[in-house]
């Protein structure tokens, strides 16, 4: 693995990568596992898939936290499998995915990273096939996880992954460690703080951001206050 796993609770892992300081996830049950986000391109997705296989041989399902290219262009490496997302996430991947790929490939070329540009251009655009709007529960076998849309914030369709028995939440880019939360043109800053309140109400011990190291509730509360200001 080009990244490294951090086991934040028994059978719950944060996968840390140098590129974009990104953090992907893995939750292992007794019957199946859930992979959180698929990475920046298919090479990255395949690395993640291989890293998952170092931890478990169980069949996987995938959840995409939101429709930003670095969270979904690795999906093809996991197929065939169920791919979960918010309904709007599917819509945005479908309508905006190709443009994001072009933009980011150009950005990588400008940064002098043509290899990453080429990898992104070669990645298939995979549209999630299991969508929901508010909340869905997945049974991983002796472990339930909930996929929740806690409200608007980093995008209008962010999904978090709550693992209640472990006290862990994968927050996608609603939380960012090591840099201020990224608010692009598709962000809804006015509602972001109340959305983080909803995340905090879950009472998780560990919150895994989409970029950066796992954090605690106090960190998220401080980030919430910063966003509110
Ligand atoms: Zn994002």
Alpha carbon separation from 46 to 33, 38, 50, 141 (Å, rounded): 16, 9, 6, 25
**Residue 3's pLDDT is what?**
85
Ligand 1 mean position, distance from CA 142 (Å) = 31
Ligand 1 mean position, distance from CA 29 (Å) = 27
Percent over 70 (pLDDT), the chain = 100
Length of the chain: 229
pLDDT in tens, 83-99: 999 999 999 999 999 99
Residues 196-208 have a mean pLDDT of 98
> Could you give the CA distance from residue 207 to residue 215 in angstroms, rounded to a whole number?
5
Count CB-CB contacts under 10 A for residue 109. Answer: 13
Confidence of residue 222 (pLDDT cuts 50, 70, 90): very high
Ligand 1 mean position, distance from CA 30 (Å) = 30
pLDDT in tens, 16-27: 999 899 999 999
Query: In whole numbers, what is the pLDDT of the chain averaged over residues?
Result: 96
Q: Which two tokens stand for residue 59?
A: 């069949």
**Residue 68's pLDDT is what?**
97
Count CB-CB contacts under 10 A for residue 83. Answer: 23
**C-alpha gyration radius of the chain:** 16
Residues 27-32 have a mean pLDDT of 98
Q: Is 140 helix (H, G, I), strand (E, B) or coil?
A: coil
**Residue 69's pLDDT is what?**
97
User: Burial level of 223, CB count in 10 A (0-12/13-18/19+)?
Assistant: buried
**Residue 181's pLDDT is what?**
87
Ligand 1 mean position, distance from CA 16 (Å) = 16
**Residue 1's pLDDT is what?**
45
Ligand 1 mean position, distance from CA 66 (Å) = 7
For residue 105, give every residue at least 6 positions away whose Cβ sits within 8 Å of its Cβ, in sequence order, or none.
117, 118, 120, 121
pLDDT in tens, 140-191: 999 999 999 999 999 999 999 999 999 999 999 999 999 988 899 999 999 9
pLDDT in tens, 123-133: 999 999 999 99
**Residue 180's pLDDT is what?**
86
> Could you give the CA distance from residue 51 to residue 63 in angstroms, rounded to a whole number?
17
Q: Which two tokens stand for residue 167?
A: 């006290």
């Amino acid at each position: 693995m080009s990244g490294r796993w951090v086991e934040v609770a028994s059978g719950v892992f944060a996968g840390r990568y140098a590129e974009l300081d990104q953090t992907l996830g893995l939750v292992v049950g007794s019957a199946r596992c859930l992979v959180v986000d698929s990475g920046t391109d298919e090479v990255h997705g395949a690395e993640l898939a291989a890293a998952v296989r170092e931890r478990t041989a169980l069949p996987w399902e995938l959840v995409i936290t939101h429709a930003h290219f670095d969270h979904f262009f690795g999906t093809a490496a996991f197929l065939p499998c169920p791919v979960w997302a918010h309904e709007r996430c599917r819509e945005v991947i479908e309508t905006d995915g190709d443009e994001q790929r072009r933009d980011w490939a150009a950005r990588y070329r400008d940064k002098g990273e043509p290899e990453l540009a080429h990898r992104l251009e070669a990645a298939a655009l995979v549209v999630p096939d299991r969508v929901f709007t508010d909340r869905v529960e997945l049974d991983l076998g002796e472990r339930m996880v909930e996929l929740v849309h806690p409200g608007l914030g980093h995008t209008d369709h962010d999904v978090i992954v709550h693992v209640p028995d472990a006290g862990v939440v994968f927050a996608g880019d609603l939380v960012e460690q090591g840099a201020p939360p990224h608010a692009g043109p598709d962000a809804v800053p006015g509602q972001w703080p109340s959305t983080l309140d909803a995340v905090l109400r879950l009472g998780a011990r560990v919150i895994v951001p989409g970029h950066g190291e796992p954090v605690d509730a106090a960190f998220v509360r401080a980030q919430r206050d910063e966003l509110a200001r």
